[in-house]
Structure 1
C-alpha cells in the first residue's frame, strides 16, 4: 500500500481538477517523458515482480523505443551501487515460444534491443535488461532472455496520459 503526504494529496487534487495531474509522479518514482518509473532495489522472480507492479496500479516497464531504453539505463546508472542484478522488463514468450510480447498489453515488441545471440530460447522466457550480470560498457542496456524464476530487480511503469489517475491515492 502506498501512502502519500497530505501536501501531495492536496496538490494532486488541485492538479487533477485542472486536468494537469499528468506531470506528477508518486514519491519514489522517476519522471520520464511519458511515464513514471519505479526502479525497485529488491529482487523478485518475473511473476512476483509483475504482481508487485500490479499492486502499485502499474506494470513492468514496456520499452517503446531507443530513447526510452537509454533513459532507463541512465536512471539505473544514477543509483548503480544500489543494484546487484539485472532488471526485469514486461516482455516474455510464455504463450508462444519465440514470439515475444509485452505482457501488460499482449502486443508484440515493436522495439527490441537484444544482446548479440539473443534471445537464446530454451527455458528462458522472460526479458531482462542487462545492467550488472553479463554486462559491460558495450552490453549495458541490451536485452537478454532469462528463466522467469531468476531473481532480478524490476522497473514498474505508469503512463502519464490523460484519463483516470494511473495510481491510487490513499489518505
Structure 2
C-alpha cells in the first residue's frame, strides 16, 4: 500500500513539475542534396533510411523555399530531385512517406499532377535559373532515375542558465 501511495505521489509530482524541468526544444530540419548519382524513387527512399534520415517531406512554403534556395546555392538549379511524396497504395491522393502524413501544403506546377499512367511519385522539377517560382512539383514515374533530397531532423534544446 505504501508503495502504491508513493508511486501516485511521484506521478503527481512529475505531472505538476515535470514541464518545469523539461527543457524547451524545437525541431530543425536539415536537408542533404544527394547528387552523386541519380536513382529511382525506391532506392532514394532506401538510401535516406540507411543513413538514418528520411526522403524529404515538405509541409510549408517556408520549407519549400528553403530547399529551393539550397538547390540554387549549391549550383543544382537544373537538376530534378525526388521527394518522399507518393500515391502508391493510396486511393485518396498523395502522402509523404518521410513523415506518414497527407500532403497539406503543395507546390504543383501548372496542370500538375497530371496523373499520367504510372506517375505515382513526387519530384521537384527545376526549370532553370529563374525566380524561386520556377521550381515546382511534378508527378513522375517512380522508376525514373533522379537525384534526391534526404531530410535530417535535429532537436535544439534551450536550457535555463539560472
The two structures have a TM-score, normalised by structure 1, of: 0.68
Task: Go from structure 1 to structure 2 and tell me whether the alpha carbon gap of 1:85 and 1:113 turns closer, same or farther (over 3 Å shift).
Answer: same
Matches within 5 A, 1:1-171: 34-41=28-35, 42-81=37-76, 85-97=79-91, 99-121=93-115, 122-131=117-126, 135-136=127-128, 137=130, 140-161=134-155
- Could you say what the CA RMSD is over the residues aligned between the two structures, in angstroms? 2.5
The two structures have a TM-score, normalised by structure 2, of: 0.72
Please tell me whether the aligned partners of residues 87 and 130 of structure 1 are also in contact (alpha carbons under 8 angstroms).
Answer: yes
SS of 1:116 mapped into structure 2: coil
Unaligned runs of 5+ residues in structure 2 are 1-22, 158-162
* Structure 1 residue 106, shift from structure 2 partner: 2.4
SS of 2:38 mapped into structure 1: coil
Structure with higher strand content: 2
Structure 1 stretches (4+) deviating beyond 6 angstroms? none
Larger radius of gyration: 2
**How many residue pairs get matched?**
131
